[in-house]
Amino acid sequence: MRIPLLFLLAALLAAAPAQAEIYKYVDENGQVTFTDVYRKGAQKIELPGAPSAAPAGKTGSRRASYAPSPANFPRIDAATQTRRDDIRREVLQEEIAGERRNAEEARRQLTLGERLQPGERATDATYLNRVSKLRAAVQQHEQNVAAIQRELANLK
């Protein structure tokens, strides 16, 4: 009985939330992808006011907002935090505007790509592959828009 309980406890501790780094990757087709996995050529996104990565070995299962701060911990005033939040909001609004433009262009490309070429059938592998890639591009941009909207909603 102890071994399964210890295993469950270890699994829960391993699944503790962690602060992920965000990367922006633009592929050869100009498709922008935001991810927490580094890819060659990706840019790390630095959001003002975002906490830096925790030092190695300093992980915990509690959220930072629940852990008491030491008495000598540097604090920022409300005006500074408001400025940081405003900058973050501006960055996110610029990003969502760009993603919406990219999504609209991807939808336009899908509409064009769904047209059959002369001598092509809707069951041809080339047609199906082309349309599949175009649909995936639209879906990726829509997911990016939704993710940025969630970030905007989380701002105070």
pLDDT digits (tens, 9 = 90+) for 42-86: 888 876 665 555 444 444 444 545 677 787 888 888 899 889 999
| Beta-sheet pairing, 23-26 with 43-44 | antiparallel
pLDDT score for 70: 80
Residues 6+ apart with CB under 8 A from 41: 25, 26
Task: Name the band, by pLDDT with cuts 50, 70 and 90, for residue 92.
Answer: very high
Instruction: State pTM to two decimals.
Output: 0.52
Distance in angstroms (rounded) separating the CA atoms of residues 153 and 156: 8
